[in-house]
Amino acid sequence: MSGYRLAAGGDIDRSRAVNFIWEGKSYAGFAGDTLASALLASGVRMVGRSFKYHRPRGLIAAGLDEPNFIVQLERGAQTIPNLKAPYVELYDGLNADPVNAWPRLGFDLLAVNGLVKRFIPAAFYYKTFMWPNWLLFEPSIRKAAGLGKSPRLPDTDVYAQASAHTDVLVVGGGIAGLAAALHAGQSGKSVMLVTGGAHWGGRLAGTADVVEGKPARIWIDDALRALAAMPNVTLKTRTLATGHYDHGMVALCERLTDHLPLAARSGPRQRLWRVRADALILATGAFERPLVFPGNDRPGVLLAGAARAYLHRYGVVAGQAIVVAANNDSAWQAAFDLADAGANIVGIVDARPVPPSALTDHARVLGIAVHTGMAPAAAIGGRTLRGVRIGRVTGTGRIEGATQTLRCDTLLVSGGWNPAVHLHSQGGGRLALDTDLHSFVPVAAADRSVGAAAGDFAIEGTLASARGSDAPRTVSPIPALWSISETGEPHPEAWVDFQNDVTAGDVALAARENFRSVEHLKRYTTLGMASDQGKTSNVSGIGILGTLIDKPMDAIGTTKFRPPYDPIPFGVLAGHRVGEGLRARRFLALHDWHVAQGALLDEYGGWMRPAAYPQPGETEADAVRREVLAIRSGAGIFEASPLGKVEVKGPDAAAFLDRLYVNTISTLKVGRCRYAIMLSENGIVFDDGVVTRFSDDHFLVGTTSGHAAAVTEAFREWLQCEWTQMQVLVEDVTTCWAVANIAGPRARDILAALEPDMDISGAAFPHMTARSGHLAGIPTRIMRVSFSGELSYEIAVPWREAQRLWTLLVEAGKPHGLTPFGVETLMTLRIEKGFLHVGSDTDGTTLPQDVGFGGIMQKKKQDFVGRRSALRPDGMRDDRRSLVGLEVTDGKPAPLVVGAHVFPETPAPSQPSQGWVTSSTWSPTLETPLALALVERGQERMGERVRILDLGQWREARITALCRLDPEGARLDA
């Protein structure tokens, strides 16, 4: 043995040295190492700092349960924060740093927090910093939160997603998972076997434990060869099951290139699998519990199972003078294996007065001192472990009598095992307390847990359960040793959650302050809220709480297990849906024409649309002013193709729409249009648009540009799930019809130039009517509706005819000064007219009565979706915010800022906001700033002066009616 690395052994390639950097210093490991195993082999003991007190911490685990060794990997766009070092495979050139340490790991200035820890116990932020003002302290506290640093540059990696179906999905690559996959594969079923790590075998990998008469490593190799020979079996390493959802769906995160040097990577970095399985077998293993005693967080204190894993997987011995402390059999095997490898085992400390004689006899054969009925009283050391004091322990965890000191640099601990029940619980499975193991085991679920995941740690029982047999489980009961101290009380330096610095004393504090629900305990102390999500701490915390309040653990219960099982990148959840791939851009029928005219394009409701058409030397604001004045005095043309168009047909179409809209649609006459609003089931304004009736059983429902799909989906859901007896057909025809809108006093003259085969005079074709016919031989639907406040026609033609119609309109409009205008111009026109824009003038709390539909809603006799919710007491309050106009009175030309808050003219010192600005513009027509706002009791306060606040800047305004231009409607009715 050289240092901590054995001369032989482990599943590593000693012919391939791998160079890497840790905290700016160069190290070397071997191919097959992890960052954790390579640094452990190099003698690095302190690898991290705790979150709250910045205490020095060392490696404790060998898997995703590691709470201490959290790293920031790589630099720049490739940087990834908060990775667990035992899961970071070593590659050439790897560059990693510790997190939560400044300026460096060995000299962390924030370790000063430990000197004042008695003043910042659990939940201190709920009880302190209230004077003079919490906001004074909040920024500093929030700045201190978190561990690693979020990337500052866009992620340059590519991610993939895929879906699959399999008859049987087996999660876990230990002997339970291998046996279950073999059994299922031999039946001819399609099987997918996944393991999160790079290797198979679980905790028995590389060991000499006997499995069905063979050493475990031989049995594992034989099983893998048999599985690889089955065409119906798929094997996946580096594939972590992160979530278990409804109907047998399991999410898998497959790491494809994370183990390769940066320069050698190509293709997707990771792939998210959505796998649906007819049967799910969970062979997810178990997590070892640390012992909770004073100083148990010192670098050099490891889990016994982790030390055994580093020995057999990587050929690394955890220390040079090792003490093993436990309350169960498994830690003894770690001591024996290390002794056989040449390690110096100072002694085995077992809390049980009489451990199995086979264990004590074998220890004596190996020359290992055995201390029974004893437990650690305290760990000795600072940045490294120098020894451990042990003493006689009672069943309650109290150390009695004199203690003795064992000199060591490594202490291996084991307080029992907790089955990994996360996926089982995510899928709705229940848990039951196993009083022999003092941990929770899975019961009653559609999935099947096997092996250690089911609380069976015996090899024979594991194989039987994996193969579907009901063999009796072999369990060696262990004592419940939740907290150890010399006083018998939870000690303030006995750590339960290592990463978040939660101690047994913190749990006791929560109990004293009556936070005795497990969910309250979690949030009050942050127990289990670190990046390991309590894999090593949750059960111990529950056990300590149960002892303190004299309540059984199953009565306390567990916190919720939520996906993901372990953090995964946002990138793999997004897949290809990033940048341009986030959402397919939709283009107008006349897109090329708009580009050729110099349109300033922007995205509105998922469509690329002109905001305005600036001429050389014009700003966008200049262009909007010019376009507005052109429309008010002559005519403008606007492409309205994105406006949602939903065909509703059938004998019950009118009654169906009556149930969905605040307005009564069934009274609408053929050839007429009606503005209507639609509510959600909660009574909130969901969408608005113009409904047109073409025949008794045929309606065209207009929607907002971004809501056509959502409205169609809502229509279909009601028809398919609730009103199945109604005879109605619904179809979204938005992209079947292109729409040109011509608006302005000269609009009728332009339309007449295209020789319509219908009478378009004001008397024959009034406002809010519709006609079908032809323009210049093109089949068309024309609706006389207006969002600008002017004489306006929306001309719909088949999408393929859009270019021909547009060209004809532009040519016909030249003598009348026809001006193309964009969305921002249209918004200015509608604000001048006081028209509602859903999404701008509404939010997730806006009810119909807030925007002027209260009377219509109350007069309507029929029920409709959202009515009951809208008429609840909260909706009928006198002080609700209502939509009103605002006239700026301070003489400043700048428009009010959207989102600025409305206050009385003379606000009190602590006056809350009475509303906010929802839409705002400069009115070229009226030459003044105009705005719309939702204001408390707004309709009762016409003419009242108010003050508007935005980021410390005050403006003055007066509440007015919504409509400021042509309130009589003469322009609309021209």
Between helices 330-340 and 357-365, what is the axis angle to 10°? 20
Note whether 404 and 424 are within 8 A (CB). Answer: no
Note whether 314 and 11 are within 8 A (CB). Answer: yes
Question: Average per-residue pLDDT in the chain?
Answer: 95
| pLDDT for position 125 | 78
Amino acid at 448: R
- List the one residue out of 856, 812, 851, 875 whose CA is nearest residue 932: 851
**CA dist., res. 891 & res. 958, Å (int):** 12
Note whether 790 and 971 are within 8 A (CB). Answer: yes
Give φ, ψ of 840 to 5 degrees. -95, -50
The structural domains of the chain, ordered by start, are 1-153 (3.10.20.440), 159-287+419-466 (3.50.50.60), 290-415 (3.50.50.60), 481-551 (1.10.10), 586-642+736-830 (3.30.1360.120), 644-732 (3.30.70.1400), 844-960 (2.40.30.110)
**CA dist., res. 226 & res. 218, Å (int):** 12
Parallel, antiparallel, or unpaired for β 370-372 and 345-350?
parallel
| pLDDT for position 3 | 60
Q: Quick one: tokens of 118?
A: 């008695």
Question: In 153-306, where do the E strands start and end?
Answer: 159-171, 191-194, 210-211, 214-215, 233-236, 239-244, 249-255, 270-282, 286-288, 301-303
DSSP codes of every residue in 853-870? -HHHHHH--S--TTHHHH
Q: What is the dihedral of CA 203, 204, 208, 214, to 10 degrees?
A: 170
**CA dist., res. 963 & res. 939, Å (int):** 13
Q: Average pLDDT in the 838-858 region?
A: 94
**CA dist., res. 771 & res. 16, Å (int):** 80
**CA dist., res. 885 & res. 944, Å (int):** 11
- List the one residue out of 59, 132, 69, 74 whose CA is nearest residue 98: 69
Cβ count near 81 (within 10 Å): 18
**CA dist., res. 662 & res. 252, Å (int):** 45
The whole-model pTM stands at 0.82
* Percent of the chain clearing pLDDT 90 (strictly above): 90
Question: In 457-613, where do the E strands start and end?
Answer: 495-497, 502-503, 586-587, 600-604, 607-612
**CA dist., res. 31 & res. 17, Å (int):** 6
Give φ, ψ of 171 to 5 degrees. -105, 115
- Tracing tokens 């927090």 back to the chain, one arrives at 113
pLDDT > 60? residue 2:
no
What band does 129 get if pLDDT is binned at 50, 70 and 90? Answer: confident
What band does 581 get if pLDDT is binned at 50, 70 and 90? Answer: confident
Name, in order, each residue with C-beta under 8 angstroms of 877's C-beta and a sequence gap of 6 or more.
none
Q: Average pLDDT in the 93-102 region?
A: 95
Q: End-to-end alpha-carbon separation of the chain, Å? A: 98
DSSP codes of every residue in 633-678? HS-EEEE-TTSEEEEEESTTHHHHHHHHBSS--TTPPTTBEEEEEE
Tell me the CA distances in angstroms from 89 to 33, 416, 614, one per residue in order: 6, 28, 56
**CA dist., res. 640 & res. 619, Å (int):** 23
Note whether 667 and 690 are within 8 A (CB). Answer: no
| pLDDT for position 174 | 97
What band does 1 get if pLDDT is binned at 50, 70 and 90? Answer: very low
pLDDT > 60? residue 465:
yes
Stretch (H or E) spanning 372: strand 370-372
Note whether 147 and 51 are within 8 A (CB). Answer: yes
According to DSSP, residue 154 is labeled: -
Name, in order, each residue with C-beta under 8 angstroms of 949's C-beta and a sequence gap of 6 or more.
900, 901, 903, 913, 955
Note whether 379 and 294 are within 8 A (CB). Answer: yes
- DSSP β-bridge partners for residue 211: 214
| pLDDT for position 178 | 98
What size, in residues, is the chain? 974
Each residue of 484-523: pLDDT tens digit?
A: 999 999 999 999 999 999 999 999 999 999 999 999 999 9
User: CA angle, 416 as apex, 412 and 420 as ends, to 5°?
Assistant: 110
What band does 143 get if pLDDT is binned at 50, 70 and 90? Answer: confident
**CA dist., res. 592 & res. 572, Å (int):** 35
- Tracing tokens 């060869």 back to the chain, one arrives at 225
Question: In 195-238, where do the E strands start and end?
Answer: 210-211, 214-215, 233-236
pLDDT > 90? residue 142:
no
**CA dist., res. 842 & res. 686, Å (int):** 9
Indicate left, alpha or beta for 3 from its phi (over 0: left) and psi (-120 to 50: alpha): left
Note whether 249 and 242 are within 8 A (CB). Answer: no
Give φ, ψ of 314 to 5 degrees. -125, 0
**CA dist., res. 638 & res. 792, Å (int):** 11
According to DSSP, residue 597 is labeled: T
Cβ count near 589 (within 10 Å): 23
- List the one residue out of 745, 931, 948 whose CA is nearest residue 830: 931
- List the one residue out of 41, 25, 44 whose CA is nearest residue 33: 41
| pLDDT for position 118 | 84
Note whether 519 and 532 are within 8 A (CB). Answer: no
Q: Around 567, how many Cα atoms within 13 Å sit in the side-chain half-sphere?
A: 16
| pLDDT for position 134 | 74
Per-residue buried b or exposed e for 424-457, using 16+ beta carbons within 10 Å of the residue's own CB: bbbbebebebbeebbbbbbeebebbbbbbbbbbb
pLDDT > 90? residue 625:
yes
Name, in order, each residue with C-beta under 8 angstroms of 867's C-beta and a sequence gap of 6 or more.
662, 679, 683, 857, 860
| pLDDT for position 132 | 76
What band does 123 get if pLDDT is binned at 50, 70 and 90? Answer: confident
According to DSSP, residue 719 is labeled: I
Q: Quick one: tokens of 247?
A: 């109907």
**CA dist., res. 766 & res. 672, Å (int):** 9
Each residue of 661-681: pLDDT tens digit?
A: 999 999 999 999 999 999 999
DSSP codes of every residue in 403-426? EEEEE-SEEEEE--EEE--HHHHH
What band does 584 get if pLDDT is binned at 50, 70 and 90? Answer: confident
**CA dist., res. 491 & res. 498, Å (int):** 14
Q: Average pLDDT in the 126-144 region?
A: 78
Helix (H, G, I), strand (E, B) or coil at 702: strand
- DSSP β-bridge partners for residue 48: 57
**CA dist., res. 86 & res. 96, Å (int):** 13
Sign of CA dihedral 201, 202, 207, 211: negative
Cβ count near 48 (within 10 Å): 28
pLDDT > 80? residue 898:
yes
**CA dist., res. 478 & res. 332, Å (int):** 14
**CA dist., res. 387 & res. 406, Å (int):** 6
pLDDT > 60? residue 203:
yes
